[in-house]
Amino acid sequence: MDYKELVRKAYEVRDNAYAPYSKYKVGAALLTKNGKIYLGCNVECGSFGGTNCAERTALFSAIADGEKEFTAIAIVSSSNDFTYPCGICRQVLIEFGKDLDVVIAKDMEYKVLKLGELLPHSWTSEELL
Binding-site annotation: residue ranges: 53, 86, 89
DSSP bridge pairs for 109:
106
Q: Which distant-in-sequence residues (6+ apart) come within 8 Å of 64 by Cβ?
A: none
Sign of CA pseudo-dihedral 125, 88, 115, 70: positive
Question: CA-to-CA distance for 129 and 125, rounded, in angstroms?
Answer: 7
Select from 80, 83, 60, 82 the least CA-distant residue to 70.
60
Active site residues: 55
Question: CA-to-CA distance for 115 and 73, rounded, in angstroms?
Answer: 10
Question: CA-to-CA distance for 118 and 37, rounded, in angstroms?
Answer: 22
